[in-house]
A and B are shown apart, each in its own frame.
Chain A
Amino acid sequence: MTRRLIAGSLAILLVASCAGAGARDTDRVELLVAAAASLTDAFGDIETAFEGAHPGIDVVLNLGGSSLLREQILAKAPVDAFAPANVAIMEEIRAAGLVSGEAPVFARNTMAIAVPAGNPGGVTGLDDLARPELLVGLCAETVPCGQFTRQVLQRAGVTARPDTREPNVRALLTKVEQGELDTGIVYATDVLEANGAVAITIPEEHNVTTDYPIAIMSATSHPEAAAAFVAFVLSEEGRMLLNRHGFRLP
């Protein structure tokens, strides 16, 4: 019985791996794009559209906290193009001599307060983040999202009482969506994409605008493909897709 179970599971794995291998064309160029977690949905659409226009290129997205991606790139991960959520990080990469050419800003974002559907904590503004009875989540200060959050709170003069500092904005948003947290500060674009979380706008005078730069990595082995991808992100079609996901355009 047990043996048959194991054999069955192995067979399923084998079939699945064969199917996966069959779908992949070995002649295609594999382009590794490291992008900020907040770009997850927008870059997903861009990947689809770009691959449609360039059948010879297979874009592989590595999405994560921008600082984590920076560490990977500094550790010589084979990344072809990089799109972090803040210009400072790109400048660090450039200082390490790893950026090839320009790093144009292709999108802008702002911060927003996210609350679960129904807003059970009755959150109306930044002041509520100081309420001790609420479960408040913020981004870890080591990621851009956390640094922007700190700026926002400073401008509003609010001392937040966080119950967790999530190392990644998506993880934070998920916990707000599930209602495990009463509120949290995330990128405005993220709340637009959220399932069941609602945005509460932060007044312009307290809010910060973040710039998303994109650049080709000097270590890339596919400079043309990387250039094509960057060009596509900056193109009208790319801008349209970014805009659809709530990003402001430069």
Chain B
Amino acid sequence: MRTGLDSRLVIRREGFHLDVALSIDPGQTVALLGPNGAGKTTVVGALAGLLPLDGGYVRLGDRVLEDAATGTLVGPAERRIGVMFQDGVLFPHLSALENVAFGLRSRRVPRHEARRRAAGWLEAVGLGALSDRRPGRLSGGQRQRVALARALITEPSMLLLDEPFSALDVSSRAGLRRLLQDHLAGFPGPSLLITHDPTEAFLLADRLVVLENGSVAQEGSADQIRLRPASPYAADLAGVNLLVGAASGKVLTIGNHRLVVPEAASGRVIATIHPRAISIHLDRPGGSPRNSWPTRIERIDHHADRVRVQTGPPLPVTAEITPDAQTGLNLAPGSEVWLSVKATEIQVDAG
């Protein structure tokens, strides 16, 4: 039986129009990216049944959850869609355990059984010791873990994750991300991750959908978007260099290459470098504490007001420069150049 998502969401508000076709295969995770006001949270509301559609439909496997044409409308309580809300939205008057057990209790699972299973889920998200605490006495990361457990315990057919990392600091992000990676890998249904952070999207999602002004600007794999961004926002988003390596102190080793990073770390990490933070030089740049290396240009893509330059080994990255700079440096595929990036421009996340 197919349990994938097939939907077309049309919502009209004064001054805002959402029209999005969104399909997700079972077991697949799609990241929905977009600037503020693009309509990301509206998509969550529409799929969860919290915002009625003005047009379109939502189908999950064989079930029609909503169809504006026929008037079919399954309420949020019967959709079996797990939602992890932005900021968690945990019930402040209930303990962590009662929050997680809420979905089971609502489905008439006996109290004792619900609490036993909730305790198991809190264990699974690493919060077994804090089950009696109310949300007010949990950290941001702990709250999101509770929110994840609360969404998953009901064994939903689909999972919606609305900006799960937005309120977290860097250190708790990595932990939650690993947790999400584990659970998404084992989740049989479709998952939708709402985010504005490309790192999270690349790490957690199989496919990216870029939402701008209420419609899909582009969709595809991270590589597809990186190579042919359809809009400045997509270019910004997907053009980001993500490098996986091992950290030891302030030195990061990626393949055979070493980068100096601003803060000490250890173990597997992900380094994020914005293309505009990478400078291109014809000769070895001066100044000592910088990361610089020689390479060869493999490809040049021209966009309206910028030029994207793909480089080859030892550290394949994308750099972005102005058309003037390209003309000035006389760059072409095959050119031998030096790249440099300041240590402070490298963002390091524990992987």
- Complex: A in contact with B (CB within 8 Å): no
Binding site for A on B (CB under 8 A): none
Binding site for B on A (CB under 8 A): none
